[in-house]
Every structure is written in structure tokens, then in C-alpha cells.
Amino acid sequence: MARTFLRLQVPSDASLQMIKDEARELAAKMQKNIESRIDVKISSEEVLQIQAFMEDMLFGQVQSIEDEMVALVLTSYTQEELLEANKFLSSPLGKKIISKQQSMLANAHSSGREIASRVATPSWVDKKRKEFLARFPQWQAAFTSNLGK
């Protein structure tokens, strides 16, 4: 019942697509990072292998989170409340609300990333690092010793 409640809110195909999209982005970032640090060209087959590895890793995390969410749902709602909620979420209006929420969250997610990429430029990060160290000079040694890690 609790798993149904969660899946009605975020259908499995939507979760799977989010995992695949995130894995694709992580694989591309990893490829770019590796190729920029060492003189090597990663083949498209290797990129797909990295992507599959990332998907497996992310899917495992999602499963673990879902298990925790099921436990949380079971402590937050009675069986009767879950039945009513599942009934509503399965109705045309419930499906519409869920559908709109998913697209709104997806838009918010991509807008947030786009804003972060514009704001968090290397010069901005460097400026904020300097401001941080000026405000907390006692942590400078720890901060600079961990930069390479």
C-alpha cells in the first residue's frame, strides 16, 4: 500500500527516466573531466559503460531511498488514509495534479541547474572562496590542504 502511494506520485517510468538522464549527465561530465586531465580519448563504447555503471549506482540509491520512504509513509499514515490517498491519486484529478507537479519539478530542476551554471562560474567560486577564507582564516590550512582531495 505504501509503495503504491509513492509510485502513484512518481511513476516508475518517470523515476527510471530521471535516473537515465542523470547517469547520462554524470557520464558526460566524467568523460570531459578525464579527457581534460590526461591525454586520452574515451571511446563511445566506454562512455556507454560508464553510463551503465552510473545507472546501476543511482538505481541502487533510489531503491534504498524508496525503502526508507515506505517506512516513513507507514509511520505517517494509517492503512485507511493510504487507501483514500491511493484512490484519489488514481482518479483523473489526482493524475492531473501528479502530472503537473512532475513537470513543474522538472522545470524547477533544470532552471536551478541553469541558474547555478551561470552564477557559479570559476571566478565567482574563487571570489567566494576568498571571502570565506577572509572570514574564517583559522580554517585556511585545512581548506587548502583538502583542495586536492
Residue by residue, pLDDT tens for the chain (149 residues) are 767 766 666 656 666 677 778 777 877 887 787 777 777 788 888 888 888 888 777 777 777 777 888 888 888 888 899 889 889 988 999 888 888 887 787 777 777 777 777 777 788 888 887 888 888 787 777 666 555 44
Residues 6+ apart with CB under 8 A from 64: none
Residue 49 within a domain? yes
Residues 6+ apart with CB under 8 A from 95: 89
Longest dimension (CA), the chain: 61
Asked if residues 35 and 42 have their Cβ atoms less than 8 Å apart, the reply is yes
pTM of the model: 0.43
Residue 131 within a domain? no
Between CA 62 and CA 82 the distance in angstroms is: 22
Domain count, the chain: 1
Residue 122 within a domain? no
Residue 24 within a domain? yes
Residue 143 within a domain? no
- C-alpha cell of 69? 520512504
Per-residue confidence (pLDDT) for residue 93, from 0 to 100? 92
Residue 132 within a domain? no
- C-alpha cell of 30? 566524467
Residue 73 within a domain? yes
Q: Could you list the residue range(s) of the whole structural domain that residue 49 is in? A: 2-90
Per-residue confidence (pLDDT) for residue 92, from 0 to 100? 93
Per-residue confidence (pLDDT) for residue 149, from 0 to 100? 45
Between CA 31 and CA 99 the distance in angstroms is: 34
Per-residue confidence (pLDDT) for residue 148, from 0 to 100? 46
Residue environment code for 87-102, b if the CB has 16+ CB neighbours within 10 A, otherwise e: eebeeeebeeebeeee
Helix (H) or strand (E) holding 73: helix 44-76
Residue 146 within a domain? no
Per-residue confidence (pLDDT) for residue 11, from 0 to 100? 55
